[in-house]
Protein backbone atom coordinates (compact mmCIF):
# COMPACT_ATOMS: atom_id res chain seq x y z
CA UNK A 1 0.00 0.00 0.00
CA UNK A 2 1.28 3.47 -0.89
CA UNK A 3 2.11 5.33 2.30
CA UNK A 4 3.99 8.42 3.45
CA UNK A 5 5.21 8.56 7.03
CA UNK A 6 6.72 11.60 8.70
CA UNK A 7 8.75 12.01 11.84
CA UNK A 8 8.79 13.42 14.36
CA UNK A 9 5.09 14.16 14.85
CA UNK A 10 6.00 17.36 16.64
CA UNK A 11 9.14 19.31 17.36
CA UNK A 12 10.03 22.28 19.54
CA UNK A 13 13.18 24.31 18.88
CA UNK A 14 14.60 27.66 19.88
CA UNK A 15 14.77 30.53 17.45
CA UNK A 16 17.99 30.51 15.45
CA UNK A 17 18.52 26.76 15.70
CA UNK A 18 18.51 24.32 12.78
CA UNK A 19 16.24 21.30 12.48
CA UNK A 20 15.60 18.37 10.16
CA UNK A 21 12.26 16.73 9.42
CA UNK A 22 12.02 13.23 8.00
CA UNK A 23 9.77 11.60 5.42
CA UNK A 24 9.71 7.91 4.50
CA UNK A 25 7.54 6.64 1.68
CA UNK A 26 6.56 3.33 0.16
CA UNK A 27 5.07 4.79 -3.02
CA UNK A 28 6.31 3.03 -6.13
CA UNK A 29 6.67 4.03 -8.84
CA UNK A 30 6.70 7.72 -8.03
CA UNK A 31 7.12 10.81 -10.15
CA UNK A 32 7.85 13.58 -7.63
CA UNK A 33 8.06 14.46 -3.94
CA UNK A 34 6.92 17.76 -2.49
CA UNK A 35 7.24 19.57 0.81
CA UNK A 36 4.54 21.97 1.93
CA UNK A 37 4.27 24.41 4.82
CA UNK A 38 0.85 24.85 6.42
CA UNK A 39 0.30 27.65 8.89
CA UNK A 40 -2.48 27.14 11.42
CA UNK A 41 -5.83 27.91 9.81
CA UNK A 42 -4.37 28.36 6.32
CA UNK A 43 -3.91 26.30 3.19
CA UNK A 44 -0.66 24.45 2.41
CA UNK A 45 2.01 26.42 0.55
CA UNK A 46 4.59 24.76 -1.67
CA UNK A 47 8.23 24.80 -0.49
CA UNK A 48 10.02 22.37 -2.82
CA UNK A 49 9.31 19.88 -5.58
CA UNK A 50 11.80 17.13 -6.53
CA UNK A 51 11.64 14.50 -9.23
CA UNK A 52 13.01 11.01 -8.58
CA UNK A 53 16.29 12.00 -10.28
CA UNK A 54 16.99 15.02 -8.04
CA UNK A 55 18.91 14.73 -4.77
CA UNK A 56 18.44 18.18 -3.30
CA UNK A 57 16.37 21.33 -3.75
CA UNK A 58 16.60 24.58 -1.83
CA UNK A 59 14.17 27.41 -1.21
CA UNK A 60 15.80 30.07 0.95
CA UNK A 61 16.43 28.58 4.40
CA UNK A 62 14.63 25.38 3.44
CA UNK A 63 16.61 22.52 1.86
CA UNK A 64 15.00 19.24 0.86
CA UNK A 65 16.95 16.08 0.09
CA UNK A 66 15.80 12.89 -1.57
CA UNK A 67 17.25 9.39 -1.56
CA UNK A 68 15.17 7.40 -4.04
CA UNK A 69 17.04 4.18 -3.23
CA UNK A 70 16.06 4.20 0.44
CA UNK A 71 12.79 6.04 -0.23
CA UNK A 72 13.61 8.77 2.25
CA UNK A 73 13.42 12.54 2.13
CA UNK A 74 14.32 15.21 4.63
CA UNK A 75 13.58 18.90 5.03
CA UNK A 76 16.30 20.93 6.72
CA UNK A 77 15.46 24.35 8.13
CA UNK A 78 18.39 26.63 8.79
CA UNK A 79 18.48 29.45 11.35
CA UNK A 80 14.85 29.01 12.34
CA UNK A 81 12.54 31.97 12.80
CA UNK A 82 9.33 32.37 14.76
CA UNK A 83 7.46 32.44 11.45
CA UNK A 84 8.66 28.89 10.74
CA UNK A 85 6.16 27.64 13.33
CA UNK A 86 3.79 25.55 11.21
CA UNK A 87 3.05 22.04 10.06
CA UNK A 88 5.31 20.64 7.34
CA UNK A 89 3.78 18.09 5.03
CA UNK A 90 5.56 15.61 2.76
CA UNK A 91 3.58 14.72 -0.37
CA UNK A 92 4.44 12.01 -2.88
CA UNK A 93 2.99 11.76 -6.35
CA UNK A 94 2.78 8.30 -7.88
CA UNK A 95 2.34 8.15 -11.61
CA UNK A 96 -1.11 9.47 -12.45
CA UNK A 97 -3.35 12.17 -11.06
CA UNK A 98 -3.29 11.57 -7.32
CA UNK A 99 -1.16 12.67 -4.39
CA UNK A 100 -0.38 10.84 -1.17
CA UNK A 101 0.00 13.09 1.86
CA UNK A 102 1.88 12.49 5.06
CA UNK A 103 0.27 13.54 8.33
CA UNK A 104 2.83 16.28 8.84
CA UNK A 105 5.33 17.41 11.45
CA UNK A 106 4.19 20.23 13.69
CA UNK A 107 7.10 22.58 14.35
CA UNK A 108 7.06 25.18 17.10
CA UNK A 109 9.81 27.79 17.28
CA UNK A 110 10.18 29.63 20.56
CA UNK A 111 12.17 32.81 21.24
CA UNK B 1 -3.70 37.74 -8.65
CA UNK B 2 -6.23 36.01 -6.38
CA UNK B 3 -4.95 32.43 -6.90
CA UNK B 4 -7.39 29.84 -5.56
CA UNK B 5 -10.46 31.29 -3.86
CA UNK B 6 -12.77 29.23 -1.68
CA UNK B 7 -16.12 30.22 -0.22
CA UNK B 8 -17.53 30.08 2.37
CA UNK B 9 -14.73 30.13 4.95
CA UNK B 10 -16.97 28.73 7.70
CA UNK B 11 -20.29 26.90 7.54
CA UNK B 12 -22.52 25.04 9.98
CA UNK B 13 -25.03 22.61 8.54
CA UNK B 14 -27.72 20.44 10.00
CA UNK B 15 -27.69 16.72 9.21
CA UNK B 16 -29.47 16.12 5.92
CA UNK B 17 -28.98 19.60 4.51
CA UNK B 18 -27.21 20.13 1.22
CA UNK B 19 -24.74 22.82 0.27
CA UNK B 20 -22.09 23.77 -2.24
CA UNK B 21 -18.51 24.78 -1.52
CA UNK B 22 -17.27 27.12 -4.18
CA UNK B 23 -13.78 27.10 -5.67
CA UNK B 24 -12.42 29.42 -8.33
CA UNK B 25 -8.94 29.94 -9.75
CA UNK B 26 -7.71 32.70 -12.02
CA UNK B 27 -4.49 31.06 -13.22
CA UNK B 28 -5.98 29.18 -16.20
CA UNK B 29 -5.09 25.87 -14.57
CA UNK B 30 -6.37 22.66 -16.10
CA UNK B 31 -6.09 20.46 -13.00
CA UNK B 32 -8.33 21.13 -10.00
CA UNK B 33 -9.11 19.00 -6.99
CA UNK B 34 -10.87 18.86 -3.64
CA UNK B 35 -9.37 17.46 -0.43
CA UNK B 36 -10.55 17.04 3.10
CA UNK B 37 -8.26 17.35 6.11
CA UNK B 38 -9.13 15.59 9.35
CA UNK B 39 -7.16 15.55 12.62
CA UNK B 40 -4.32 13.03 12.61
CA UNK B 41 -4.75 12.22 8.92
CA UNK B 42 -3.14 13.45 5.75
CA UNK B 43 -5.20 15.31 3.20
CA UNK B 44 -7.43 12.93 1.30
CA UNK B 45 -8.59 13.40 -2.26
CA UNK B 46 -12.35 13.64 -2.78
CA UNK B 47 -12.72 14.44 -6.48
CA UNK B 48 -10.52 15.90 -9.17
CA UNK B 49 -10.70 17.27 -12.68
CA UNK B 50 -8.09 17.35 -15.44
CA UNK B 51 -10.02 19.86 -17.52
CA UNK B 52 -13.42 21.39 -18.20
CA UNK B 53 -16.05 18.70 -18.60
CA UNK B 54 -13.86 15.97 -17.06
CA UNK B 55 -14.11 14.81 -13.45
CA UNK B 56 -13.08 11.69 -11.58
CA UNK B 57 -13.32 10.22 -8.12
CA UNK B 58 -10.58 10.31 -5.55
CA UNK B 59 -10.08 8.34 -2.38
CA UNK B 60 -13.20 9.44 -0.45
CA UNK B 61 -15.91 10.48 -2.98
CA UNK B 62 -19.03 9.16 -1.24
CA UNK B 63 -21.53 11.87 -0.33
CA UNK B 64 -19.97 14.46 -2.64
CA UNK B 65 -20.60 15.58 -6.21
CA UNK B 66 -18.57 17.81 -8.50
CA UNK B 67 -18.86 19.34 -11.93
CA UNK B 68 -16.45 21.33 -14.10
CA UNK B 69 -18.36 23.44 -16.59
CA UNK B 70 -15.60 26.06 -16.89
CA UNK B 71 -11.83 26.05 -16.48
CA UNK B 72 -12.08 28.52 -13.59
CA UNK B 73 -14.70 26.93 -11.33
CA UNK B 74 -14.88 23.58 -9.54
CA UNK B 75 -17.73 23.48 -6.99
CA UNK B 76 -18.11 20.67 -4.46
CA UNK B 77 -21.64 19.67 -3.52
CA UNK B 78 -22.63 17.88 -0.34
CA UNK B 79 -25.81 16.03 -1.17
CA UNK B 80 -27.13 15.21 2.32
CA UNK B 81 -24.73 16.35 5.03
CA UNK B 82 -23.67 13.88 7.72
CA UNK B 83 -21.65 14.50 10.91
CA UNK B 84 -18.84 12.41 9.36
CA UNK B 85 -18.41 15.18 6.79
CA UNK B 86 -17.35 17.63 9.48
CA UNK B 87 -13.91 18.58 8.24
CA UNK B 88 -11.73 21.23 6.65
CA UNK B 89 -11.99 21.25 2.87
CA UNK B 90 -9.27 22.47 0.55
CA UNK B 91 -9.49 23.19 -3.14
CA UNK B 92 -6.29 23.01 -5.18
CA UNK B 93 -5.20 23.71 -8.73
CA UNK B 94 -2.16 23.25 -10.96
CA UNK B 95 -1.25 23.98 -14.55
CA UNK B 96 -1.32 20.29 -15.50
CA UNK B 97 -1.49 16.83 -13.97
CA UNK B 98 0.21 16.47 -10.58
CA UNK B 99 2.64 13.88 -11.92
CA UNK B 100 4.15 16.59 -14.12
CA UNK B 101 5.77 18.32 -11.16
CA UNK B 102 3.99 21.65 -11.52
CA UNK B 103 3.34 23.64 -8.37
CA UNK B 104 -0.01 22.88 -6.79
CA UNK B 105 -1.75 25.88 -5.26
CA UNK B 106 -4.20 25.45 -2.40
CA UNK B 107 -7.04 27.65 -1.29
CA UNK B 108 -7.33 28.88 2.28
CA UNK B 109 -9.81 26.20 3.29
CA UNK B 110 -13.49 25.91 4.19
CA UNK B 111 -14.35 24.82 7.75
CA UNK B 112 -17.54 22.75 7.72
CA UNK B 113 -19.38 21.54 10.81
CA UNK B 114 -22.37 19.21 10.50
CA UNK B 115 -24.55 18.98 13.61
Answer yes or no: do B42 and A97 touch at CB < 8 A: no
Which of B41, B50, B101 lies closest to A97 in CB terms? Answer: B50
**Contacts of B102 by beta carbon, 8 Å cutoff, 6+ apart:** B94, B95, B96
Task: Tell me, yes or no, if A102 comes closer than 8 A to chain B by beta carbon.
Answer: yes
Answer yes or no: do B98 and A41 touch at CB < 8 A: no
Average pLDDT, chain A: 94
d(CA B26, CA A30): 29
| Residue of B7, B9, B43 to mutate, testing the A interface (most A Cβ within 10 Å of its Cβ) | B43
Q: Which residues of A3-37 are buried (b: 16+ CB within 10 A; e: fewer)?
A: ebebeeeebebeeeeebebebbbebeebbbbbbbb
Residues of A in contact with B50 (CB under 8 A): 97
Checking if the pLDDT of A48 tops 60, the result is: yes
**Contacts of B43 by beta carbon, 8 Å cutoff, 6+ apart:** A44, A89, A99, A101, B35, B36, B37, B90
Nearest CA of chain A to the CA of B33: how many Å?
9
Which pLDDT value is given to residue B1? 55
- Length of chain B in terms of residues written: 115
Q: Is the peptide bond before A62 cis (omega within 30 degrees of 0)?
A: no
- Mean pLDDT for the stretch of residues A74-100: 93
Answer yes or no: do B98 and A42 touch at CB < 8 A: no
- Position with higher pLDDT, A53 vs B88: B88
Which of A31, A94, A99 lies closest to B45 in CB terms? Answer: A99
Question: What proportion of chain A, given as a percentage, has pLDDT over 90?
Answer: 83
pLDDT tens, chain B, 115 aa long: 569 999 999 999 999 999 999 999 999 999 999 999 999 888 999 999 999 999 999 999 999 999 999 999 999 999 999 999 999 999 999 998 888 888 999 999 999 999 9
Nearest CA of chain B to the CA of A96: how many Å?
6
Answer yes or no: do B107 and A34 touch at CB < 8 A: no
Nearest CA in chain B to A90: B42
Amino acid sequence: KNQVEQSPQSLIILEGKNCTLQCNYTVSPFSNLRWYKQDTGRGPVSLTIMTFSENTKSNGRYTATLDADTKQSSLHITASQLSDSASYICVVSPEGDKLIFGTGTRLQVFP
Amino acid sequence: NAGVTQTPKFQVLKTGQSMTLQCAQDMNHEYMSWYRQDPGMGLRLIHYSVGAGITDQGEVPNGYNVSRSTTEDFPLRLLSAAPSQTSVYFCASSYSRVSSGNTIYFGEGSWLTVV
